[in-house]
């Protein structure tokens, strides 16, 4: 595994835990943790349960004992590590975003396709897909529970930048993070809505804003936290902290999207709602064990949103855990991801989301940025369409 921040903690927990609750064809072993800073690296490896450490991620690629490379670093290093890992025939789990540019993502996707032919598996870490409620939502839509889709509504609301004195972090630096709220959290709702509906976004009209344009300089803190230093110096935020866009799916359906870190009081309100001719589905990650489903075919008078606790044996992943009504937490999405990845590797199948799917997300985000830079005019997400969308 490369990287040991917040994502490293979640991934290593998943690697340690998946085979304790799922019947896996292979049993993961935490081999080597790679990072840049020797001191904190060793402590992290001990805490996370890795046998060895290295400050050269290349060691992982070169180690014949290592089968899987899990990339948990910021987006600017994904390309280099993933390309090397795939070239070396290592299975790759790459955190989202796939890379900081469409171009890099395209190359990574091409490499993943090539590697696939040799049996090398690759997956991008859109872990929210493995929330039981969302996996169940996809299943319901596929079964026709909402009928013909009429509309999509997705929001990812956070508030940790609402405080104008919250300090700079690498996530607010375009060079490191590539994008702001759009790329970091907007990416999830783009992926989820495409995955749940089974449709592809083909054009967008968007607006980006940096609501708080400067922030106190932080130390070297990596992660979500960090504390401003005492000097009073403020640095420019070089990414958006609010992204609004309208998307058109290839069926013609419109979706409204919002990714923000200005929504005071909303802590991790990743919301997805699908409205169809026969019903609707609504989800909010702040209540991740619940899915709301509306059935327009129910008898008149009996219609309403049904709050389903997705902890029943019938719900994806849930049978591996606790009795009904005993909820799961955030990290379970990662544990499910590892269970599915290890199963795929063992069975010789390709896990999802593939790099192709992650590239499509990347293209949507890039089109939003382009549109936002051109007065919100519609932009195609199709790489062969360079002109303004005609829709």
- Which of 29, 106, 160, 221 lies at the binding interface for a second copy (CB under 8 A)? 160
Residues 6+ apart with CB under 8 A from 378: 203, 204, 205, 248, 371, 388, 389, 391
Residue closer to a second copy (CB basis): 163 or 236: 163
End-to-end, the C-alpha distance of the chain in Å comes to 44
Of residues 62 through 101, those in contact with a second copy by CB under 8 A are: none
Examine residue 207 and tell whether it contacts a second copy (CB under 8 A). yes
Q: Which stretch in 43-51, 102-110, 213-221, 336-344 sits in contact with a second copy by CB under 8 A?
A: 43-51
> Comparing C-alpha atoms, which of 171, 180, 175, 165 is closest to residue 229?
165
What is the bridge-based pairing of β-strands 122-124 and 91-94? parallel
- Which of 2, 8, 14, 48 lies at the binding interface for a second copy (CB under 8 A)? 48
Assess contact for 373 and 206: CB atoms under 8 A: no
Residue closer to a second copy (CB basis): 12 or 73: 12
Hey, how many other C-beta atoms are within 10 angstroms of the C-beta on 227? 11
Residue closer to a second copy (CB basis): 83 or 208: 208
Bridge partners, 201 (sequence order) = 249
Q: Which stretch in 69-77, 81-89, 183-191, 277-285 sits in contact with a second copy by CB under 8 A?
A: 277-285
Of residues 216 through 275, those in contact with a second copy by CB under 8 A are: 224, 242, 244, 246, 254, 256, 258, 260, 262-269, 273, 275
> Comparing C-alpha atoms, which of 305, 321, 340 is closest to residue 135?
340
Q: Number of residues interacting with a second copy: please give it, by CB under 8 A.
A: 94
How many helices (H) and strands (E) are present in the chain, helices listed first?
11, 16
Token pair for 354:
């593939």
Examine residue 20 and tell whether it contacts a second copy (CB under 8 A). yes
Of residues 279 through 338, those in contact with a second copy by CB under 8 A are: 279-280, 285-289, 293-294, 296, 298, 300-309, 311-315, 321-332
> Comparing C-alpha atoms, which of 62, 61, 279 is closest to residue 70?
61
Residue closer to a second copy (CB basis): 316 or 353: 316
């Amino acid at each position: 595994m490369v990287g040991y921040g917040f994502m490293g903690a979640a991934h290593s927990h998943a690697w340690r835990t998946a085979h304790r609750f799922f019947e896996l064809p292979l049993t993961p072993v935490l081999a080597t943790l790679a990072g840049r800073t020797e001191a904190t690296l060793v402590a992290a490896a001990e805490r996370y349960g890795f046998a060895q450490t290295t400050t050269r991620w290349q060691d992982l690629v070169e180690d014949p004992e290592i089968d899987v490379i899990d990339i948990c670093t910021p987006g600017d290093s994904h390309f280099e590590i993933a390309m090397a890992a795939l070239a070396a025939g290592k299975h790759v789990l790459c955190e989202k975003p796939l890379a900081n540019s469409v171009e890099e993502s395209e190359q990574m996707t091409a490499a993943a396709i090539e590697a696939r032919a040799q049996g090398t598996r690759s997956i991008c870490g859109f872990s929210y897909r493995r929330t039981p409620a969302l996996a169940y939502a996809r299943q319901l839509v596929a079964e026709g529970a909402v009928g013909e889709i009429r509309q999509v509504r997705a929001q990812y609301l956070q508030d940790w930048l609402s405080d104008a004195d919250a300090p700079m972090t690498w996530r607010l630096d375009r060079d490191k993070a590539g994008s702001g709220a759009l790329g970091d959290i907007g990416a999830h709702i783009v992926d989820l809505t495409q995955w749940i509906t089974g449709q592809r976004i083909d054009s967008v009209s968007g607006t980006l804003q940096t609501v708080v344009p400067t922030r106190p300089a932080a130390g070297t803190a990596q992660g979500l936290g960090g504390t401003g230093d005492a000097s009073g110096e403020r640095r420019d935020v070089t990414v958006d902290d609010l992204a609004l866009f309208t998307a058109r799916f290839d069926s013609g359906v419109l979706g409204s999207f919002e990714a923000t870190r200005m929504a005071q009081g909303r802590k991790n309100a990743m919301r997805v709602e699908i409205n169809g001719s026969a019903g609707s589905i609504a989800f909010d990650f702040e209540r991740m064990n619940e899915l709301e489903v509306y059935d327009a075919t129910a008898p008149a008078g009996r219609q309403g949103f049904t709050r389903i606790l997705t902890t029943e044996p019938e719900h994806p992943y849930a049978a591996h855990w606790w009795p009904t009504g005993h909820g799961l937490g955030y990290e379970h999405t990662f544990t499910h991801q590892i269970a599915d990845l290890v199963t795929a590797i063992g069975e010789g199948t390709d896990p999802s989301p593939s790099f192709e799917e992650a590239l499509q997300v990347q293209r949507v985000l890039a089109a939003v940025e382009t549109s936002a830079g051109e007065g919100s005019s519609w932009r195609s997400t199709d790489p062969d369409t360079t002109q303004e969308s005609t829709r």
